[in-house]
Structure 1
Amino acid sequence: MRLENIKIRNFRLLRRLSIDLAQDKTTTILVGPNNSGKTSVMEALRLFIGQGAEAPKISFHDLSQLRHRDLKRIERKVAAEADPEKKIELLRRLTPRMRLDLTFSYGEDPADLVAATKLLMDLTPGTSRVRMRIDYRLENAKKLLDEFGARPRKDVSLCDYLKETFRDHFKRVFFKVSPDGKEVEQLEDGNLLKSLLRIDIVPAQRHVDDDEGSRSAKLSKLLHDHYERFYRVDDAAGYQAIEDALTASAGDLTGMYGKAFGRLTKRLQSFGYPPGQKAPDLRVRAELSAETIYRDNARIYYASEHAEKEGVMEEFELPEKYNGLGYKNLIYIVLQLESFRAAIDATMGDKPRVHIIAIEEPEAHLHPQMQTVFISEISKVLETDGGTTAQVLLSTHSSHMIAHSEFEPVRYFRRVGRQVVMQDLSQLPLPPDNPDLLDFLRRYIRLTHCDLFFADKAIFVEGQVERLLLPMMIEEQAKVAGCETLGSQYVSISEVGGGHAHKFKPIIDFLGIPSLIITDLDSVDDGGKKCPVATGKSTSNACLRKWIPEKETVEELQACDNAAKTQGCIRVAYQVTQDGHCGRSFEEAFIYANITWLTDNHAKLSTTKAAVKKAIDAGLTAQAWELSGKLGKVDFALDLMGAPGWEIPLYIQQGLQWLAEHPAK
């Protein structure tokens, strides 16, 4: 049995969210900027599904803020209604509720069929899905109305009153639902959850120290949990052998303690006790248990070898606090996963058919190489010989983890106002006339910029010069009034080339990230040969011809205004006329924008100094076209990086200004 879909309503920023879990992989990956709702998905599962001692502690503040205003509207409607019964009905019908819908698929396994039968509402042959709903809703409208009416302070609103009494009036209610959602039947209680689903969470805040602080999670303590929950079940004979050894050691120590403390006990007897009472015979016994051994006396040591003289290896051991946080973090996560699995193995009676493990930001302190293999290795750790199979929900900010996960398991979260939208990259829409585009995007993003999934905004550039110089340009443009936000936002910069930029349209549109495409005008003559813009007839740039602004002639491109260069959250920037001249490439446009600066500062350049000096002597403006073709692109960029103070070409200024003013969603 597998959990296939999670629907969440009115929980924190998750107003209406539906997540399809990865079908052919163990792990579904939640990515997106901070505070975009990834952790809230895990918290919703934990709070709604909690059992027994872990019963949910859902609070008023878990209710979506968009629903808080509904409570104010409800209060006004109820106050305006005179009929008490209608007041109750209004409150019952309009009060918002939080909801978790879970859709499961099942196979022919008898245990799966038993669990599914209890939720089955569709007898159509071939049906293989069941659905369960958990509502957190108002339990008794009359009780709330009476108690709210009897509140001591009449100036307290319904919203403020529920902040203090929310759990008194709202409870979990369980339903089975038909797969299409049209039929709903209330269940007596949530006992079915115990045999259906278990949720375990490895939180982002992992304190893996071996000090005695109350917040630290000692690895030795985790080892004891592993010993009790896993080893005791997996190898009962080995477990008993350890316990027998501890008992024998305790007997030996007791005899030794008797000798060591014999003098002390005799001295105590000599002090005398009241008449008629015998002085107590004090005895010191050694009591050993695996729990106290692991908790108080066991420490993890890290062994390493170092070559001494003549190649002889010498081994050293250091306590756990002397090892890196990354390795301790990894040990902690693996021990937790083993502990979760052992807890299920030790469950008496029916085991949960579905096990969800939520791991928050496992990349903390991990080396990039470890991040790269983490997802595949975690799948191996969770492999079992049968029985319950775990599914993993993993939230991450690591581009290294995303790079090796392809697109299918990735779910991209972004915040829009006071709610969250989620995009399923397995549903990325692609043009039917380009079946190889998905493979291209997978390879490109894997090899270059997975940070696109974590960016506030994105810039796609054509060449190496722009990519190298853009950070400096962004820093300078952020000093301009109205562009200050560029300095505090994370802007992803990707080099895509003018012939490939249009291939990124599906994913940019899908993610909805404000994006700037900086490309070249690439003017050509009637024969398709590159030429100066002044004599050019059309463009060879595929992005300008096929995407934005979808124009072919130089005349049309030069006539485009800002609106023509913009399509939704995407804008293109290419060379425009500056001081009476328009460049074909970045280098030519840079020269026109910096005639004076280059004349005064060409001596500061390194590799390109001679070529620039020669052009200045012959007339820099007239030589700009020819000079731009002679400059080594990377050399020119590195020279400019070492000699700041130049002007940003106008077309890039305009593009960066648009990007700064376009709100990040």
Structure 2
Amino acid sequence: MKFTRIDVFNFRKLRRARLDMADKQTLLVGANNSGKTSAMKALRKFLKDRGGIDTRDVTASNWAAIEQIAGAWTQEAEADLSTLLAQLPFLDVWLHADTSEFHHVAHLIPTLTWTGGLLGVRLRLEPKKGADIKAGYLAARQAAKMLHPDGITANGFALWPRDFREFMDKRMKDLFELNAHLLDPESYTASGPVAPPPLPPLSEGIGPNPFAGLLHICEISAQRGFSDAGDGKGDDGDTAHAASRKIASQIQTYFHKHIDPETDPTPDDVKALMAIHEAETTFNARLKNGFANALTELEELGYPGGLNNPKLSIATQIKPVDGLDHPTAVQYDISGDASGVRLPESYNGLGFQNLVSMVFQLMRFRDDWMQVGKFKSQVVTPEDRGIEPLQLVLIEEPEAHLHVQVQQIFMARAHKVLRNHEYLEKADSAFTTQLVVSTHSGHIAHAAAFEELRYFKRELPNYGVVPTATVANMTGLFGADTQTRRFVTRYLLSTHFDLFFADAIIVIEGAAERILLPHLIQHRHPDLAVAYLSFLELGGSHAHRMRPLIEALEVPTLIITDLDAVATVDKNGKTVSPSAQPCYGADQTTANHVLKTWLPNLAEIDTLLATPPNTHCHTDAARPIAVAYQTPQEVTQGGQTQAITPSTFEDALVLANAEAVREAAKAKHACAMTRAFAKSISDASTPEDLATALFERLDKSPEKAAFALDLLYIEDIKVLRAPPYIEKGLIWLAGALTGGEGAA
């Protein structure tokens, strides 16, 4: 049995979002404020807490429609609450079960013809029995009107409730509750728009907890409250005590459930209890002697006095768990030898505390589920104990305080820890563990399989005043193209996964752009300088392979690439020259696959050099993607001004920054290319001569990265200007992020 899909509706940023569940672990990735936390909260409130939903959980853009529905209510007409319920949060949960698991899911089977496979359950907010939403709201509004007929005053004063939102703020938990409805498996669609299937006619609820006896759900929240030894007075038992002893408190919980010798004692437990009793007896004898004089003195003062008044005695009662209820119950041995030098838990680094705490919690989740230790009672197998067949574990932001290697190790092993049990490790185990992790870390994402990623992407506010989010499933993204899938996944594994968390992506040709673009952006594009940009270094012959991924992410993406002009082919179909200096009327074509097959989907150089439709760069009409490549730029040389089309980023940069190149060439260790470029600037008599000299030097033995590094030596890096084609692309990207004119 396993979860296959969970659809979230009308919950915070997720108006309509589909979360396909991987068999083992599912990673929620995406930029800040993209809806990952909304998804985790929805799973918690619907599946774990089974309630606690309030007005802040309703998608903000839905309130306009909700107010319109409530505003149409009158005393005379009966209210149709179905339209209201469709605007409130609900969850569609789809599971897959075999016929052998019939005894677990019998209450979820919608028809007698079910023979295994999908089962669907909708969890939604509904009025409690006897609750009359319409009558309560209208009565509250009428009462406010009787007291204050004028309604809202000029200074904003109004009696409660001024609208239905304000009414629900106070009454939602009193009037609504969760209820579950069975869905028809025939209504399940594997793809297409996210839309809730209709409930079967006359559907009746089956209660707020349809997964009782079927699901064991646990959670590690993002706020784990660790402290450093220098924070407050945690180890002295003061206010920070609880926060600094997270692991110790977990150990106490584990002790009570699985080890406590007073619960179903074993022979070993009896020995421990006898030792505790002996220690208690000895200590009580010492207390009696130690307090004898003090108690005698009290009696001499007449307290307690009289035959009928009880006498004061002092004794101790030692419980097994008491030995763990102190600030140094958990210690770390730092000696490395037999000397046993130890420090309390809070004296270790926050990262180590977080790692140990999370792993221990995972072990506890597993052992609680499998009823290890004292849970076992006298039965033999988990099936006999009525253990739930499905465990769902939620982890928010496991990367807190962890350095990158530990992040990857934790993510690679977390599911294995949850399955480290004799009944779970079997290939034919009847128990399933599914892990859901939300993260902001590219290193966490790096440790997971590409197919396990679920990308949360922000949408424009199509439905109201705030943006919502959708989810892109990375599974099957490249279809049957196994070569492209292999290339993209290996490329990302060998570089980084930060594009899943970026505000915008810039695809570049090589190292020179990677070195200089951050400086060009920082000093001339302040909006981009404060954005989270992900740079993908890909040549023009490979960037198009990223197309399915980039289009799926729908993040503003600027592709900066080269024209890669080649001369026309001869009568035998062979290229006359492998590369050519771009120019009009030479019957040239491009060798760049991005330009030929993606954007702008053109091959002829003459056509490519024509002014793009929006005078900035070629863009995708359906997605925020643009491509920028070399176009004619005005160059002044030898007293002449001429439109020159460069062939690469490097010669375009030289043509736009002649004085900066001259200065860089004067550095003691300037590379041969920088010096050659400076010489060309000095020797060329016309713009065309300069362009030819630069092209010929690039065609010999390019030192592009060294040239870019040389430019970092100039005194004022702020004078460096981006080539015109890149400047246009950056203007477009800034507009795409801010909604300004550049994106038009």
Counterpart Cα distance in 1 of 2:39 and 2:107: 26
Give the structure with the higher percent helix. 1
Decide which of 55, 64, 69 is 1:74's aligned counterpart. Answer: 69
Residues 45, 199 of structure 1: 8 Å contact kept: no
Residues 269, 280 of structure 1: 8 Å contact kept: no
3-state SS of paired residue (2:185): coil
Alpha-carbon distance change, 649 to 318 in structure 1, aligned in 2, over 3 angstroms:
same
Counterpart Cα distance in 1 of 2:707 and 2:270: 73
Residues 30, 500 of structure 2: 8 Å contact kept: yes
Deviation at 1:631, TM superposition (A): 5.0
Pair 1:254 & 2:284 matched: yes
1:213 equivalent in structure 2: 239
Residues 93, 121 of structure 2: 8 Å contact kept: yes
Map 1:13-28 onto structure 2 (within 5 A).
Answer: 13-23=13-23, 26-28=24-26
Pair 1:615 & 2:683 matched: no
Decide which of 30, 33, 45 is 2:31's aligned counterpart. Answer: 33
Say which is worse superposed, 633-642 or 281-290, in terms of deviation: 281-290
Residues 304, 312 of structure 2: 8 Å contact kept: no
Deviation at 1:39, TM superposition (A): 1.9
Residues 220, 300 of structure 1: 8 Å contact kept: yes
1:49 equivalent in structure 2: 47
Counterpart Cα distance in 1 of 2:399 and 2:212: 31
Pair 1:555 & 2:561 matched: no
3-state SS of paired residue (1:186): coil
Residues 633, 645 of structure 2: 8 Å contact kept: yes
1:441 equivalent in structure 2: 488
3-state SS of paired residue (2:144): coil
Alpha-carbon distance change, 500 to 141 in structure 1, aligned in 2, over 3 angstroms:
farther
Pair 1:393 & 2:436 matched: yes
1:189 equivalent in structure 2: 207
Map 1:447-486 onto structure 2 (within 5 A).
Answer: 447-478=494-525, 484-486=526-528
2:194 equivalent in structure 1: none
1:481 equivalent in structure 2: none
2:407 equivalent in structure 1: 371
For 2:250, give the aligned amino acid: L
Deviation at 1:298, TM superposition (A): 4.4
2:544 equivalent in structure 1: 502
Alpha-carbon distance change, 245 to 36 in structure 1, aligned in 2, over 3 angstroms:
farther
2:93 equivalent in structure 1: 102
3-state SS of paired residue (2:627): strand
Deviation per CA, 1:319-347, whole angstroms, max 9, x where unpaired? Answer: 22221111100111122222323333447
3-state SS of paired residue (1:4): strand
For 1:510, give the aligned amino acid: A
Deviation per CA, 1:508-556, whole angstroms, max 9, x where unpaired? Answer: 1111111111111122223132232248622222222222222222212
1:354 equivalent in structure 2: 390
Counterpart Cα distance in 2 of 1:141 and 1:485: 55
2:626 equivalent in structure 1: 571
Counterpart Cα distance in 2 of 1:244 and 1:472: 73
Deviation per CA, 1:402-433, whole angstroms, max 9, x where unpaired? Answer: 11212211111112133210001003144x5x
Deviation at 1:89, TM superposition (A): 2.8
Q: Which runs of 5+ in 1 are unaligned?
A: 307-311, 479-483
3-state SS of paired residue (1:78): coil
For 1:399, give the aligned amino acid: G
Say which is worse superposed, 318-327 or 267-276, in terms of deviation: 267-276
Map 1:145-544 onto structure 2 (within 5 A).
Answer: 145-151=134-140, 152-154=143-145, 155=151, 156-181=162-187, 183=200, 185-190=203-208, 192-209=210-227, 210-211=234-235, 212-213=238-239, 216=243, 217-232=245-260, 237=266, 238-239=268-269, 241-273=271-303, 276-277=306-307, 281-296=311-326, 298-305=328-335, 316-346=341-371, 350-383=386-419, 384-386=421-423, 388-416=431-459, 417=461, 418-430=467-479, 432=480, 434-478=481-525, 484-526=526-568, 527-534=576-583, 537-544=588-595
Counterpart Cα distance in 1 of 2:56 and 2:286: 60
3-state SS of paired residue (2:259): helix
Alpha-carbon distance change, 236 to 335 in structure 1, aligned in 2, over 3 angstroms:
farther
Map 1:136-151 onto structure 2 (within 5 A).
Answer: 136-139=125-128, 143-151=132-140
Identity %: 29
Counterpart Cα distance in 2 of 1:141 and 1:565: 61
2:190 equivalent in structure 1: none
2:117 equivalent in structure 1: 128
For 1:291, give the aligned amino acid: V
For 1:400, give the aligned amino acid: H
1:309 equivalent in structure 2: none
Residues 243, 289 of structure 1: 8 Å contact kept: no
Alpha-carbon distance change, 77 to 142 in structure 1, aligned in 2, over 3 angstroms:
farther
Residues 265, 281 of structure 1: 8 Å contact kept: no
Residues 98, 137 of structure 1: 8 Å contact kept: no
Decide which of 638, 650, 659 is 1:587's aligned counterpart. Answer: 650
3-state SS of paired residue (1:663): helix
Residues 126, 176 of structure 2: 8 Å contact kept: yes
Residues 412, 423 of structure 1: 8 Å contact kept: yes
Residues 97, 138 of structure 1: 8 Å contact kept: no
Deviation at 1:116, TM superposition (A): 1.4
Say which is worse superposed, 192-201 or 267-276, in terms of deviation: 267-276
Counterpart Cα distance in 2 of 1:191 and 1:595: 72
Residues 224, 290 of structure 1: 8 Å contact kept: no
Alpha-carbon distance change, 113 to 275 in structure 1, aligned in 2, over 3 angstroms:
closer
1:624 equivalent in structure 2: 694
Deviation at 1:660, TM superposition (A): 0.6
Residues 15, 59 of structure 2: 8 Å contact kept: yes
Pair 1:633 & 2:704 matched: yes
Alpha-carbon distance change, 174 to 159 in structure 1, aligned in 2, over 3 angstroms:
same
2:2 equivalent in structure 1: 2
Deviation at 1:236, TM superposition (A): 5.4
Deviation at 1:47, TM superposition (A): 1.6
3-state SS of paired residue (2:612): coil
2:720 equivalent in structure 1: 646
Counterpart Cα distance in 1 of 2:316 and 2:131: 62
Residues 252, 324 of structure 2: 8 Å contact kept: yes
TM-score normalised to structure 2 length:
0.80
Decide which of 80, 86, 103 is 1:90's aligned counterpart. Answer: 80
The RMSD of aligned alpha carbons is: 2.8
Counterpart Cα distance in 2 of 1:108 and 1:149: 50
TM-score normalised to structure 1 length:
0.89
Counterpart Cα distance in 2 of 1:274 and 1:248: 30
Deviation at 1:313, TM superposition (A): 8.2
Alpha-carbon distance change, 529 to 98 in structure 1, aligned in 2, over 3 angstroms:
closer
3-state SS of paired residue (2:475): helix
Alpha-carbon distance change, 327 to 239 in structure 1, aligned in 2, over 3 angstroms:
farther
Deviation at 1:114, TM superposition (A): 0.8
Q: Which runs of 5+ in 2 are unaligned?
A: 146-150, 152-161, 188-198, 228-233, 378-384, 424-429, 462-466, 569-575, 635-642, 740-744
3-state SS of paired residue (1:29): strand
Count of paired positions: 641
Deviation at 1:314, TM superposition (A): 6.2
Alpha-carbon distance change, 610 to 132 in structure 1, aligned in 2, over 3 angstroms:
closer
